Amino acid sequence: MHDPHLPLLELHRHLSGSIRPQTILALGRQHNIPLPSDDVAGLLPHVQVVGTVPDLIAFLAKIKLASTVLANVDACRRIAYEAIEDAHHEGIAYIELRFSAQFLANPHHLPQEAVIEAVIDGVQSAVRAFGIKVKLIGVLSRTLGPAACLAAVEALLRYRDHLVALDLAGDEANWPGHLFIEHFRKARDAGWQITIHAGEAGGAANVRQALAELGATRLGHATNAIHDPALLDLMGERGIGIEANLTSNIQTSTVPNLASHPLRHFLDRGLLATINTDDPQISGIDLPHELQVAAPQAGLTPAQIHQAQQNALAIAFLTPAEKETLKAAAI
Catalytic annotation, residues: 200
Closest CA to 153 of 162, 170, 140: 140
User: Strand (E) positions, the chain?
Assistant: 9-14, 94-99, 133-141, 163-169, 193-198, 218-221, 241-244, 272-275
At residue 39, the 3 state secondary structure works out as: coil
Residue 308 to residue 303: CA distance in whole angstroms: 9
Q: How far apart are CA 237 and CA 297, in angstroms?
A: 29
CB atoms within 10 A of CB 20: 18
Other beta carbons within 10 angstroms of residue 102's beta carbon come to 22
Burial of 2 (0-12, 13-18, 19+ CB in 10 A): middle
Phi, psi of 14 (to 5 degrees): -95, 135
d(CA 320, CA 246): 28
Question: Checking DSSP bridges between strand 193-198 and strand 94-99, what pairing results, if any?
Answer: unpaired
